[in-house]
Structure 1
């Protein structure tokens, strides 16, 4: 019998890196600022290409990014009124996904259309519900850090990481990897304080002890200077909580008085058919200092600092993915209990590999009863 402390919970039959993300949630596919009026852009949710369309008037809508005629991406088309026209022959589709015009046919001979996806905007992001559309109204959008709170300043980030989305959940949840960031963070050690768990979430709490006297400038400007005694370990008084509420992840930092001073929201969206590349959408909210305009002065330094940290994470996660590929599966030996529970949570809530769990929209792609010959 394998030792439970040295074996991974993912068996060969349930390799975590082969599990698809569950589509029955709201996922951002683009930033609102990137889609102008009268334009369309193409994005992917795993195997599914999706066109986001912002008409001259009205809200954004989302369609399958394939014209029903020759399968050309609709995201290359022209927005005309409340519809998008395919760039090839000008077939037009409205927000319902139905074909509403073929320029060289009579109105009575229009073919059926393409799939449509529920679509919303919030927090400066365009969200799509890729799964069973009948569930969209009952599934809430996730809490988006403090993006609407004027007491906080929020920055956006959206790097692509060439790995399965589960690696990103594990990376953030396991604060024991601070050794990786020693050049950016100085010498600190994570101390695990406890956890909470439920059917669809798991949370870990940490504090940090600084074992050296190097404190990064960005950290000092945001949290204040920590007066270190070089003769002994000094605790960092902030408490860090990391929570995966499937499929989203958050990180919150509270000060010694229990006040929230920083919050991170992240969601990881597979952007290739094989699921081995992930588009990250993140919101990082920082409490504004009492000194006016200080946050604006330190904002560039914070951006550089967080970018360097993430680049170190990106490199290591892509190395993990490369090892998985070379070894032909998941050979990780996980001993940290909180990560073992996280892996179980991700496996339990994910979709079986290759399962088409997206429900068909009202509009079918089947040929009409009177086929159109073109």
Structure 2
């Protein structure tokens, strides 16, 4: 019997000019990215966050909206997030230099007002859906860049769960994992034996969408699933009809999963963003909003909420383990050796490459951008 050599099975070419390595494509910073939950930033406090290795400090003054600065004092590079908030300024913990929401240095305690140094970079900020967003790219594009629709956070007919797991992998693994529903075998212990049925796809310049239905092959419905969607009848081996449609969409850089019933009514709405934390973008902070339609029975959603939380967490832990194993395999090989055959995922990978930034073309960092001019803000705001 002839044996197959490793060379015959390794059909994925090494990355090159015509085969870019997806894991070396940075997220495009010219979008609104969540970096923290609103509840985590208290009045008169700071919060240190990051985007792709760029340190950012969020500041919530006692009055007014949140603002964001580059989290390093230009004097000795000490994090401004270690400082104190006074009015509309944050004051460095080391020598007391004060910076306003415009980034200008408005006070150095031991210098005259005519000798103040330049300030620090600012980031456009928006707060919505219980999240704080920053625009880490070109600030001139912030106002013209569409802000994402955040599930059903403003709809009283739905109850929304927050989640923000950190995963040790490149953000593109997260997009692939959710888009490809053929991986339900991974979740057989939580969901029983179910089969994904591909119903079709749509795609455009900045999005890819796939639709599925699920057929139960064996095993009982999990309690949380049954409470949300209703009990699926045991058809004793017959093919289950389409009862819910699952639509997954990557609209760069966000991802959504929406479930509708057979009448087209929305049952569940998930919105997720995958934010790179480190410079190499191999550590990802996920932010998710999961909105569930409230049942007609009052307060039933509150009763099932703990079970839903346990169920979704178990599913996520299985996904987390598998994508981190994928990242470990990439680290070991030094390049992307994936053998992809599913057309939807192939289109997704092309989208992520097209919309992202190759690592040999790094986005502008805080140090490369000009500092704000010497202040025009009054020192009385300190």
Q: TM-score range by the shorter chain?
A: over 0.9
TM superposition score normalised by structure 1: 0.94
Question: Which residue in 2 is equivalent to 1:231?
Answer: 237
- 8 A Cα contact 1:7 1:334, kept in partner: no
Q: 1:59 to 1:13 in 2, by over 3 A?
A: same
Q: 1:366 to 1:213 in 2, by over 3 A?
A: closer
Shift of 1:357: 2.5
Equivalences for 1:334-349 in 2 at 5 Å?
334-349=340-355
Deviations 1:194-227 (A, max 9, x none): 0000000000000011001411000000011101
Question: Which residue in 1 is equivalent to 2:182?
Answer: 176
- 8 A Cα contact 1:249 1:267, kept in partner: yes
- 1:286 matched to 2:267? The reply is no
Structure 2 residue runs without a partner (length 5+): 1-7, 375-382
Shift of 1:11: 6.6
1-structure distance, mates of 2:98, 2:228 = 52
Q: 1:168 to 1:11 in 2, by over 3 A?
A: farther
Question: Which residue in 1 is equivalent to 2:79?
Answer: 73
Question: Which residue in 2 is equivalent to 1:214?
Answer: 220
Equivalences for 1:304-323 in 2 at 5 Å?
304-323=310-329
1-structure distance, mates of 2:16, 2:370 = 38
SS at match of 2:218: coil
TM superposition score normalised by structure 2: 0.92
- 1:96 matched to 2:114? The reply is no
Q: 1:55 to 1:336 in 2, by over 3 A?
A: same
1-structure distance, mates of 2:368, 2:351 = 33
Shift of 1:352: 1.8
Q: 1:13 to 1:104 in 2, by over 3 A?
A: farther
Equivalences for 1:39-78 in 2 at 5 Å?
39-78=45-84
Shift of 1:147: 0.4
Equivalences for 1:234-273 in 2 at 5 Å?
234-235=240-241, 237-273=243-279
2-structure distance, mates of 1:84, 1:334 = 50
Q: 1:363 to 1:310 in 2, by over 3 A?
A: closer
1-structure distance, mates of 2:365, 2:371 = 13
1-structure distance, mates of 2:71, 2:103 = 11
* Range 304-313 or range 351-360, more displaced: 351-360
Question: Which residue in 2 is equivalent to 1:32?
Answer: 38
- 8 A Cα contact 1:78 1:87, kept in partner: yes
Aligned residues: 366
Equivalences for 1:138-157 in 2 at 5 Å?
138-157=144-163
- 8 A Cα contact 1:7 1:333, kept in partner: no
2-structure distance, mates of 1:25, 1:281 = 15
Shift of 1:356: 3.9
Question: Which residue in 2 is equivalent to 1:372?
Answer: none
**Aligned-residue RMSD, C-alpha:** 2.2
2-structure distance, mates of 1:325, 1:122 = 36
Deviations 1:171-195 (A, max 9, x none): 0000000000000011000000000
Structure 1 residue runs without a partner (length 5+): 369-374
Question: Which residue in 2 is equivalent to 1:371?
Answer: none
2-structure distance, mates of 1:193, 1:6 = 28
Shift of 1:272: 1.1
SS at match of 2:26: coil
Q: 1:356 to 1:105 in 2, by over 3 A?
A: farther
